[in-house]
Structure 1
Amino acid sequence: MLMRKRSDAALVGMRRFTVEFLLFGIKEARACLFAGLFFVSIFVIPRAGLLGIPRYDLLLIIAVSIQGWMIWTKLETLDELKAICLFHVVGFILEAYKTSGAIQSWAYPDFAYSKLLGVPLFSGFMYAAVGSYIIQAWRLLDVRIVHHPPYWMATFVALGIYLNFFTHHFIGDYRCYLAAVAIGLYARTTVIFRPYDKDRRMPMLLAFILIGFFIWVAENMSTFFAVWHYPNQLGAWSTVHLGKWSSWTLLVIMTFTIVASLKHIRETIYIPK
């Protein structure tokens, strides 16, 4: 232990920055394991499918297999799987609504046996991937939240964000107002994480924005490979509108709220032996 302390104390300046940066990257990559493997399969599987199996069906098989492998190898716990299943349901409901005949915000043009209400079942895993990342990063980086807003307020804002994805087609888009409320709510909130042996801090709002940006980048890659299309991409591919970044950031806030609330509930009802 003494040698470990001396070794850690020797890490200063650029050497410490390099070690912590590398370890942070490794832990982030580990937290993205499900999302990374899943999105790699999206880019690898040809649009025509393989061995007579349609692409969307193959993606569903791969996603379930990755999830099962993570449970089998104990890279993911059963409690984490339950939370991820919740994200899957929440995401599928939104997908079914957005792709319905009355809305048609985007579409899944290819055939699949595993389509339900016109939505391939693998699509829910794209939302589950975001939840998986947050859950894994929370554990691997020993995340703690300082000045978390009252949970009932955070839940109220998260519900408003989710409902706005449905209602903005009819009663107006209140995304800006919801974002303003979220900024006020999380203005003092700080996320503390530990890449190696020392705590580091980041404003919670900055974390939301950064995660939302990387999801927006992944969405551009997915539409480029024709996994789904927005109406303006039917003739030729174009960059997903930058406004989607804000939508993904709000979705990240909603996902974080679910994870934080589940952890809060579990801590509240836990009774030490």
Structure 2
Amino acid sequence: MFFLRQLLSFSYQQALSCIFPALIFLTLAVSKEIEMPWIHRYDFILLVCIVVQFGMLYTGMETKDELKVVMVFHLIGLLLELYKVHMGSWAYPEEAWTKVLGVPLYSGFMYASVASYLCQAWRRFHLRICHWPRWMVNVLLGAAIYLNFFTHHYLYDFRWVLTALIFVVYFKTYVTYHLNGITYRMPMALSYLLIGFFIWVAENIATFFGAWQYPDQQKTWNWVGVEKISSWFLLVIISVIIVAQLKHIKESLTNKSLEGPENQVSEKTTFYS
């Protein structure tokens, strides 16, 4: 009975954290089935994303600081989309007024929704990272992963080298989360993998509803290959690094202003959101 209660509570908090991506999926599904002669489908999805974003801010479900993080991810994702579509990795075949170089602007919100989930889950579960590597290690690793998404079209694909490096860098790192007064812990690398897996599941749902289209999905929808999990695994790491470092910086500044430098949180220890 205790396990069931914890599972239901965990699922409820996760569902609340997933409101932004869930509403995007709902919009994809509805817009695929309903004819809208007065507006292009991609433009309608963008409009809904903007309304949802401001609605979350207005209702207090998302803070101003979290909105800043989400917008950073929007820009990072949009830049990646522009490059990948140009390289033919995937496409957005439908017409839209809000397409730039073949990329609809709503695509950035799909990356932003991942950031929204991370921020929401971080706050709701009171996440705490232990033995977080030094900030320069995280920055260099995140930059290498992001650049590999671009350079692998011309140079060697270092994804498996980077994946192995991740398990080395985060070997001692783990995350704790709180649920109904009980603290649980999980290896950081495992949390990356689990989030990447569920994003892959979400990607299959998104492509089924026509959010975007891979080359082998032009005639009929097919499952996205499991090898894509590795890509999402790496992208999640970039996301967590950015969110964690921004929260670490904010907490350090807060501690400095309230308690003085002698009580600063060490990069080698722990920090909260």
TM-score, normalised relative to structure 2: 0.91
User: What is aligned with 1:133?
Assistant: 117
What is the Cα deviation at residue 152 of structure 1? 1.1
Q: Which residue in 2 is equivalent to 1:66?
A: 52
1:46 aligns with 2:35: no
2:3: which partner in 1?
A: 17
Instruction: Quote the offset at 1:51 in angstroms.
Output: 4.2
How far, CA to CA, are the matches of 1:85 and 1:139 in structure 2?
A: 18
Q: Between 236-245 and 167-176, report the one with greater CA deviation.
A: 236-245
Q: Distance in 1 between matches of 2:61 and 2:212?
A: 30
Encode CA deviations 1:182-226: one digit per residue, 9 max, x unaligned.
111111111100121110111111111111111101111111222
Q: Which residue does the alignment assign to 1:87? A: 73
CA displacement 1:42-63 (0-9 Å, x = unmatched): 1111267524211100100000
Higher relative contact order (CA 8 A, sep 6+): 2
Aligned to 1:3: none
Q: Deviation per CA, 1:4-31, whole angstroms, max 9, x where unpaired?
A: xxxxxxxxxxx22122111111111111
Secondary structure of residue in 1 paired with 2:196: helix
In structure 2, how many angstroms separate the alpha carbons of the residues matched to 1:229 and 1:55?
15
Residue matched to 1:104:
88
Count of residue pairs the alignment pairs up:
257
Which residue of 2 is the match for residue 179 of structure 1?
163
- 1:123 and 2:87 equivalent? no
| 1:206 alignment partner AA | L
CA contact (8 A) 1:48 1:55 kept: no
User: 1-side partners of 2:131 and 2:219: how far apart?
Assistant: 48
One-letter code of the match for 2:89?
A: S
Report the AA paired with residue 98 of structure 1: K
The yes-or-no answer on 1:75 pairing with 2:56 is no
Distance in 1, Cα, partners of 2:244 & 2:185: 18
TM-score (norm 1): 0.91
Change (3 A) 1:262 1:49: farther
Q: For residue 11 of structure 1, what is the aligned residue in structure 2? A: none
Q: Could you tell me whether the CA contact under 8 Å between 1:47 and 1:55 is conserved in 2?
A: no
Q: Which stretches of structure 1, 4 residues or longer, exceed 6 Å deviation after superposition? A: none
Gaps of 5+ in 2: 260-273
Query: Residue 83 of structure 2 contacts residue 150 of structure 2 at CA under 8 Å; is this kept in 1?
Result: yes
- For residue 190 of structure 1, what is the amino acid of its counterpart? Y
Contact conserved, 1:108 with 1:228, CA < 8 A, in 2?
A: yes
Matched residues in 2 for 1:185 and 1:57: separation?
42
| TM alignment of 1:193-272, pairs within 5 A | 193-270=177-254, 271-272=257-258
Counterpart in 1 of 2:140?
A: 156
The alpha carbon displacement at 1:130 in A equals 0.7
Q: For 1:137 and 1:52, how far apart are their aligned partners in 2? A: 37
- Secondary structure in 2 aligned to 1:199? strand
- For residues 142-183 of structure 1, what are the alpha-carbon distances to aligned partners after superposition, in whole Å with 9 as ceiling and x for unaligned? 100111111210111111110000000001210001111111
User: For residues 260 and 49 of structure 1, what CA distance do their matches in structure 2 show?
Assistant: 42
| Structure 1 range deviating more: 242-251 or 50-59 | 50-59
Tell me the SS of whatever aligns to 2:221. coil
Unaligned residue ranges in structure 1 (runs of 5+): 1-14
